[in-house]
Structure 1
Amino acid sequence: MTKLLILSVSAGNGHVRAAQALEATLAQSFAPHTAVHVDAMAHVPAGFRKVYTDWYLQLVNRAPELWSYLHQRTDVTPHHAPSQRLRRGIERLSTVALVREIRRAKPDAVICTHFLPAELLMRERNRGRLECPVWLQITDYDLHNMWLVPGMTGYLAATEEVAFRLRARGIPPERIHVTGIPVMPAFSEPDAPEVAHAACASALGLDPARPVLLMASGGAGVGDLPSMVERVLALGGDTPFQVIAVAGRNAEAHARLEALSQRHPGRVVAVGFTNEMHKMMAAADLVVTKPGGLTVSECLALGKPMLLISPIPGQEEHNAGFLMEESAAWLAYDAIGLDYKVARLMADPAKLAAMAARSRALGKPQAARAVLQRVLGAKE
């Protein structure tokens, strides 16, 4: 029996969701092996956590141009550069409790869904204080320098291009494995798409015979979610489409969406925080979302066409580029573009069907299983 430690960082939701997907898949399909998921940010000082998580989110939302510059600069800064050594030194001083927690867990193998714990464990391995294998799961569809942590047992990549980039930047080919990005087991259920679509639409009180738009986020240049929904409801068309709007933990947005649903009976389903995003996606003909690595992986797993909005400079822009190159998504640069492209796509079922086919071809719904088979097989 293998005891697996999964380490994430709650800087955004994607790294945590990938870890949760691995944990859930192991519990469902890999008994008697066990897993413990630890969020690194739960074992660091409050000041470090605030800088590492809150500051990051504020930066990408309020100063995207500055974040873009930092993203580009750090991508070309070598690991041995003074600035990188200083950064790692600050991180080591701030993560003493985390390293202690990792030692206490005594895992047989470790999977990191963020580069921070991977860098800490690299130092532990180099100093002979950790002997178990450490794997690094990359959670985007492009490669940034920060993921190039030397000495990992294996690197788990989303696509062949990410694997190519790893090799091109010096990672030994035998340590690189294309698995996809882990998604929760609910996104890999084998129901036929048309059956899942009809059943999930009906369960939400929607008409399965009418098109459904899922809107999951707002952002800079596009507007807040209730405003976005109000605008698209005003779009013309022979068959007015229905909207599922997911506000998450934003109580104010959820209340405004509930008011919209009262003014547009039968056309809007307002959703707050939910653990059933797979059902919302299954019911949708088109998903409007930011191109975070985990979100788009879930859409691909279910074969959903996407209209992408407000990509974070750097990693999300590269995710969007990948999806558009592969004809699985369009990108709306601003509010006017959003309105135009929603109207155009929702009026063109053939185009949506073609995008959905490309999305399904790219999807890796069994990525979590592939990762665990690789890690546990290598361990055994």
Structure 2
Amino acid sequence: MAQKKILLLSVSAGAGHLRAAEALRCHAAAFGGAAQATHLDVMDFVPKTFRKLYTDFYIKLVNKAPALWGYLYQFTHEAKPNSYIERLRRAVERLNTAALRREIERFKPDAIICTHFLPAELLARMIRKERLACPVWVQVTDFDLHRMWVHEGMAGYFAANEEVAWRMQACGIAPERIHVTGIPIMPAFAVPPDRIVCAQELGADPAKTTFLLMGGGAGLGSMDAVAARLLALEGDFQLIVLAGKNAAALAALQSLAVRHPGRLFPQGFTDKVERMMACADLVITKPGGLTTSECLAMGLPMIVNAPIPGQEERNADFLLEQGVAMKAVDGVALEYRVRHLLEQPALLAQMRERARALGRPLAGRLVLEPVLAA
């Protein structure tokens, strides 16, 4: 098989689209000389003002006015593609992405995989105008399908599950172009690391029930306040908290850990999330498509909190329906759910088995196989 140059296009509006593309890039290495994968963030090829509007505004909106984002999510889903506002939006995007189109022409890819709808939409027009000859594939990164992901001329679509595939068909995508692969996550999740080794690295007890608190505390309070609330519960458990790049949160958690020796393990930014997950029996997180896919691959049940209206709400619905997650609308609900699971270890074990059955740790490889075979 001749080597194929694969271009992975994502958008840094939230971390999930980037992480999916990076996962595909890493999985490509497993194909040896058959694939040369390069990942580009579309936002690196647009003017600064457009980038701030597209990414910074999105992040502020979902954090400060989630209800408004939920309205926009549904409005754009239902908008007619040929309406004035949709044509204006696409025109603005085209005007601001000329540098990206030039970079694609310079790169001369054999195939393109989009992990965000913006590049898919731009490339669909190029295909229609006969300005792009290589096949373009689309990876949807949530357990739901928004209309803006669907475009004519795409070589194929990759769906997180059968329901998303069904929705794709309902939108007019031919069944033979749809592949149910799951959402691509890093290869490290396909071979979970040893729990004992990972716990010892943290100084935690591998035999003790362990909860992992991830992501922002929106809807539940600050991370140190959430941790303090959980540690006040009765029960023999320990808590790992990932503060990411939030230095203030990490400092507050480290101060709290002094008062709870051997029970609280604060962590800053890490690119080894799978090692934290290997220690855990339950994850408390926002229901992003990538994070929840990682949890499922590790066989980890979840308590999901503060889902963004739109895509994350749909993700949460899927997880709840499958019996692998509970939902906490506030701190009181979180406290109740955790206590409930501590009192019913058989239920937690049942959720874990369901999560393991749903996990698709090799999704990245399953995506690349038809791309390379085409």
TM over 0.5: yes
Alignment size in residue pairs: 372
- Structure 1 partner of 2:279: 283
Is the aligned partner of 1:151 residue 2:153? yes
Is the aligned partner of 1:343 residue 2:339? yes
The answer on whether the counterparts of 1:218 and 1:309 sit within 8 Å (CA) in structure 2 is: no
Is the aligned partner of 1:219 residue 2:217? yes
Letter in 2 for 1:300: L
CA distance in 2, matches of 1:257, 1:117: 39
**Change in 2 beyond 3 A, CA 1:190/1:30:** farther
- Structure 1 partner of 2:4: 2
Comparing 342-351 and 320-329, the one that deviates more = 342-351
Instruction: Please give the secondary structure, in 1, of the residue aligned with 2:303.
Output: strand
Listed one character per residue, the Cα deviations across residues 47-106 of structure 1 (whole Å, up to 9, x for unaligned) are 111111110011111111111111111111122222111110000001111111111111
- Structure 1 partner of 2:229: 231
Is the aligned partner of 1:303 residue 2:299? yes
- Structure 2 partner of 1:43: 45
- Structure 2 partner of 1:208: 206
Instruction: Please give the secondary structure, in 2, of the residue aligned with 1:313.
Output: coil
The answer on whether the counterparts of 2:283 and 2:300 sit within 8 Å (CA) in structure 1 is: yes
CA distance in 2, matches of 1:208, 1:346: 17
Comparing 48-57 and 336-345, the one that deviates more = 336-345
- Structure 2 partner of 1:104: 106
Is the aligned partner of 1:189 residue 2:191? yes
CA distance in 1, matches of 2:26, 2:224: 33
Instruction: Please give the secondary structure, in 1, of the residue aligned with 2:300.
Output: coil
Instruction: Please give the secondary structure, in 1, of the residue aligned with 2:304.
Output: strand
CA distance in 2, matches of 1:118, 1:125: 10
Comparing 167-176 and 27-36, the one that deviates more = 27-36
- Structure 1 partner of 2:256: 260
Q: CA RMSD in A?
A: 1.1
- Structure 2 partner of 1:91: 93
Listed one character per residue, the Cα deviations across residues 102-122 of structure 1 (whole Å, up to 9, x for unaligned) are 111110000000010111111
CA distance in 1, matches of 2:257, 2:157: 46
Shift of 1:352: 1.0
Letter in 2 for 1:322: F
CA distance in 2, matches of 1:218, 1:163: 30
CA distance in 2, matches of 1:173, 1:29: 26
Instruction: Please give the secondary structure, in 1, of the residue aligned with 2:33.
Output: coil
Listed one character per residue, the Cα deviations across residues 109-136 of structure 1 (whole Å, up to 9, x for unaligned) are 0000001011111111111111000000
Residues 289-328 of structure 1: matches in 2 within 5 Å? 289-328=285-324
Pick from 122, 127, 133 the counterpart of residue 131 of structure 1.
133
The answer on whether the counterparts of 1:285 and 1:304 sit within 8 Å (CA) in structure 2 is: yes
Shift of 1:219: 3.4
> Could you list the runs of 5+ residues in structure 1 that have no partner in the other structure?
none
Letter in 1 for 2:262: G
Instruction: Please give the secondary structure, in 1, of the residue aligned with 2:349.
Output: helix
Shift of 1:354: 0.4
Listed one character per residue, the Cα deviations across residues 218-247 of structure 1 (whole Å, up to 9, x for unaligned) are 33321121111111011112x2x1111000
The answer on whether the counterparts of 1:6 and 1:36 sit within 8 Å (CA) in structure 2 is: yes
CA distance in 2, matches of 1:346, 1:137: 37
Listed one character per residue, the Cα deviations across residues 314-334 of structure 1 (whole Å, up to 9, x for unaligned) are 100000000000000000011
Is the aligned partner of 1:377 residue 2:368? no
- Structure 2 partner of 1:55: 57
CA distance in 2, matches of 1:12, 1:146: 17
Listed one character per residue, the Cα deviations across residues 287-344 of structure 1 (whole Å, up to 9, x for unaligned) are 0000000000000111100000110001000000000000000000111101111122
- Structure 1 partner of 2:122: 120
Letter in 2 for 1:222: L
Shift of 1:190: 5.9
Is the aligned partner of 1:168 residue 2:170? yes
CA distance in 1, matches of 2:178, 2:274: 29
- Structure 2 partner of 1:247: 243
**Change in 2 beyond 3 A, CA 1:283/1:29:** farther
State the identity %.
56
Letter in 2 for 1:364: R
The answer on whether the counterparts of 1:217 and 1:224 sit within 8 Å (CA) in structure 2 is: no
> Could you list the runs of 5+ residues in structure 2 that have no partner in the other structure?
none
Letter in 1 for 2:128: N
Residues 12-23 of structure 1: matches in 2 within 5 Å? 12-23=14-25
